[in-house]
Amino acid sequence: MRAMSRRAAGLWIVAAAGIVALGAWRATWRASTIDPDFLTGWILAAMVAALAIYGVRRRLPMLPLGRASVWLSVHVVVGVAAIGAYAIHVGTLWPEGAADRALALLFLAVIASGVAGHVLQAILPARLARSGPELIYERIPTEVAKLRAAAEDALVEAAGAAGHETLSSYYAQTLAWYFERPRFALSHVFGGHSAEAWERQRLAAVEKLLSADERPHLAALAELCRHKRAVDAQYALQTLLRAWTFVHVPAATAFLAMAAWHTLIIHVYAG
């Protein structure tokens, strides 16, 4: 861990020094054989290419290409440094011209979504661990279906034991909605307790209407609600953890394509 921290600190120092040096050179440039726009443009292109390589690395985890944590550190540092390189190259974060502004908008979308993703990846895993055993995201609908089936089985047993369907009728009017699919996503994302309060209120409302034979089944239903709440939290947090990529990856792909076109046009007209 300490070695990794020292390595990350070294990367930040090198990146900061490089951007400061590039900015100082661009600010003091007068005339030379080196065109500053071309040089800074190619430096930025190299940084963007390095960032794109990380995406390839993530899709090939089986290859011995080094530790994923090192790749992530480099990706973050280069991404932040690319903001400075972009500002030096363009002279501003919001240039003139429709094409340049479209390119700037894509660049800012890539950076903003990347920062959001990095923050989410730093925060959400710990919250996922606290919410209970981690579930495979694609299996969550199956888990919800299992809980719903278990709840319906408890209702059948309650009706058989009591000889009437008070609990079943109440479930159909209220709790069936809860067991249909994951609920209270925003509350789970922000760490709220809306789901727990909703469960407690609904269960307490029916408890006084039940006979002694039905109450043990209500307790079983309450336990299923508790498990459902944990599954819903997993679903909400894992969805958020995945959602930022639906902005970051398309924006990055579009930026790479438009940047390549921009480079081609610049070199054609320069020639």
pLDDT band (50, 70, 90) for residue 180: very high
Range among 27-31, 142-146, 203-207 rated most confident: 142-146
Q: Are residues 31 and 105 in the same domain?
A: yes
98 in the same domain as 7: yes
Residue 71 one-letter amino acid: W
Q: Is the pLDDT of residue 116 over 50?
A: yes
CA proximity to 188, closest of 101, 130, 145: 130
Mean pLDDT of the region 40-50: 86
Q: Are residues 121 and 248 in the same domain?
A: yes
Domain hosting 167: range is 137-241
Q: Are residues 117 and 148 in the same domain?
A: no
To the nearest 10 degrees (0 to 180), the angle between helices 98-131 and 245-270 is: 150
**Rounded-to-integer distance, Cα 162 and Cα 20, Å:** 78
Q: How many domains does the chain have?
A: 2
The string of pLDDT tens digits covering residues 244-266 is 889 988 998 898 888 888 888 87
What's the pLDDT tens digit per position in 209-246? Answer: 888 888 888 899 999 999 999 999 999 999 999 998 89
The two three-digit tokens of residue 80, written as one number? 């932040």
Q: Are residues 64 and 173 in the same domain?
A: no
* Claim to verify: residue 124 and residue 74 sit in the same structural domain: yes
Q: Please, are residues 140 and 231 in contact by the beta-carbon 8 Å criterion? A: yes
**Are 162 and 225 members of one domain?**
yes
* Prediction pTM value: 0.77
Residue 44 predicted with pLDDT over 60: yes
Q: What is the DSSP code (8-state) at residue 134?
A: -
Q: Please provide the average confidence, as pLDDT, over all residues in the chain.
A: 85
Tell me what pLDDT residue 214 has.
83
Check whether 141 has a pLDDT greater than 90. Answer: yes
Do 50 and 11 share a domain, yes or no? yes
Same domain assignment for residues 165 and 266: no
| H or E element at residue 127 | helix 98-131
How far apart CA 21 and CA 16 sit, in angstroms, is 8
Looking at the fold, whether 256 and 220 belong to one and the same domain comes out as no
Question: Does one domain contain both 198 and 247?
Answer: no
The stretch 96-103 carries a mean pLDDT of 84
Helix axes 140-162, 215-243, angle to 10 degrees: 170
Query: Percentage of the chain with pLDDT > 70?
Result: 91
Residue 159: closest CA among 228, 207, 211 = 211
Over 80: is that where the pLDDT of 269 sits? no
How many Å apart are CA 267 and CA 35, to the nearest integer?
12
Q: Please check whether residues 51 and 182 belong to one and the same domain.
A: no
